[in-house]
Amino acid sequence: MSKKTVQTIEDIAKLANVSKSTVSRALNDSPLIKEETREQIKAIAKENNFCFKATARSLSLGQSHTIAFITHSYSECFSMEDLFSLEIMGGISTGLTALGYDFLVVHVDPHKTDWAHEYLDSGKVDGFILNTSSRKQYHIKALYEMEAPFIVWGVPEPNYCYPSVTGDNISGGLLATEHLIKIGRQKIAFIGGADYEREVQQRYAGYEKALKNANREVNPLMVTYGDYSLASGNTAMEQLLQQAPDLDAVFVNSDLMAIGAINVIQSKGKRVPEDIAVVGYDDLSIAALNNLPLTTIRQNIPMAGRLLAQNLVQFIKSGVITNVTMPVELVIRKSA
């Protein structure tokens, strides 16, 4: 804390020759205060670089104006596997700042939920943003039961009602697969995220639909699942190559898995896209920067972040529950 002499509302009350009630009201733009006095008080505050004590304000108002972003890293530490989280954090931070909220990042043990009580009951935060996580359903249920304000990135669970933001996964699956069909591929495989995730089921539905539309059938040997990580892309691709050595395309549910898949394909002496075309998902920054730039389904991640911020704050303030589905788009680069 700097050694300024005017630190509190009371200090500036003295300077302005009014009560601190009046200062509080003026600085908070209360319509009760006469325009003139308000301007005068604001001028004094500005001149002295005055700044409310957030902590006193929070105590009095019963809200912290801060939101927690709940995350647990894939490995022990943050790494490239968390690039999606990083990118969405950028959007969330932007959105929150614009609304006057602060952005707390909370690393949790995914198998617990006591962090929710801790952060909410202590008044440290007003709500939570749930990101992609293998334990998302578990977290959602816990937060829902305790009536904690939260919003989630992902398709909402049926029979629950809470705010959410998600991409249009069906269209994503459709666009990716249609593109592969359009460029003449005959044997199109699918590498999903975890098969119990609704997002993944929807992308699969899009994949299936595109094939149906082209009068084709899904070959179960060409369908496999990972967990979005690069390593799981390796594994899945190896499995696929074993089960269906003649495949000539694969639609992969994340850019990271796509990069893993490409590495495996190339290590087997096959070429991308000539022998096997690969379409990723997300359009993380790495997709364009990759050695072989990825054709992928773009999710507008910065906007997703901003919407998560805005809609959670709206929910906290007004109780309005918003579920948004964002459009996705096909970005054609080199891998397909």
Residue 285 backbone class (left: φ over 0; alpha: ψ -120 to 50; beta: rest): alpha
Beta carbon nearer to DNA, 14 or 334: 14
Q: What angle do CA 141, 146, 150 make, to 5 degrees?
A: 70
Q: Is 42 in the site for DNA (CB under 7 A)?
A: no
Report, in Å, the least distance between residue 32 CB and DNA.
4
Nearest of 321, 191, 182 to residue 261 by alpha carbon? 191
Beta carbon nearer to its own copies, 106 or 181: 106
Beta-strand ranges (E) seen in 54-154 are 66-71, 102-107, 127-130, 150-153
Q: Is 233 in the site for its own copies (CB under 8 A)?
A: no
Instruction: Please check whether residue 280 is in contact with residue 68, taking contact to mean a CB–CB distance below 8 angstroms.
Output: no
Helix (H) or strand (E) holding 10: helix 9-16
Beta carbon nearer to its own copies, 124 or 333: 124
Report, in Å, the least distance between residue 98 CB and DNA.
20
3-state secondary structure of 104: strand
Q: Which does 8 bind (CB under 5 to 8 A by kind): DNA, its own copies, none?
A: DNA
Report, in Å, the least distance between residue 201 CB and its own copies.
28
| Phi, psi angle pair for 329, to nearest 5° | -145, 150
Q: Is 48 in the site for DNA (CB under 7 A)?
A: no
Q: Kindly state the tokens that stand for 325.
A: 């589905």
Contact region with DNA (CB under 7 A), list: 3-11, 89-97, 305-313, 317-325: 3-11
Interface with DNA (CB under 7 A), residue from 4, 14, 43, 61: 61
Interface with DNA (CB under 7 A), residue from 4, 14, 34, 107: 34
Q: Is 284 in the site for its own copies (CB under 8 A)?
A: yes
Compose the 71-110 pattern: x for residues touching its own copies by CB under 8 A, - for all others: --x--xxxxxxxx--xx-xxx-xx--x----xxxxxx---
Q: Is 43 in the site for DNA (CB under 7 A)?
A: no
CB atoms within 10 A of CB 330: 18
Listed in sequence order, the residues at least 6 apart from 317 whose beta carbon sits closer than 8 Å to its beta carbon are none
Residues of span 288-327 touching its own copies by CB under 8 A: 289-292, 301-302
Interface with DNA (CB under 7 A), residue from 42, 48, 52, 270: 52
Q: Kindly state the tokens that stand for 304.
A: 């997703």
Residues of span 13-52 touching its own copies by CB under 8 A: 49, 51-52
CB atoms within 10 A of CB 144: 14
Interface with DNA (CB under 7 A), residue from 2, 5, 49, 62: 62
Q: Is 182 in the site for DNA (CB under 7 A)?
A: no
Amino acid sitting at position 110: P
Alpha-carbon distance of 33 to 46, in angstroms, equals 18
Q: What angle do CA 86, 89, 95 make, to 5 degrees?
A: 155
Contacting residues toward DNA, per CB under 7 A = 7-10, 17-22, 24-25, 27-28, 32-38, 52-53, 56-57, 59-62
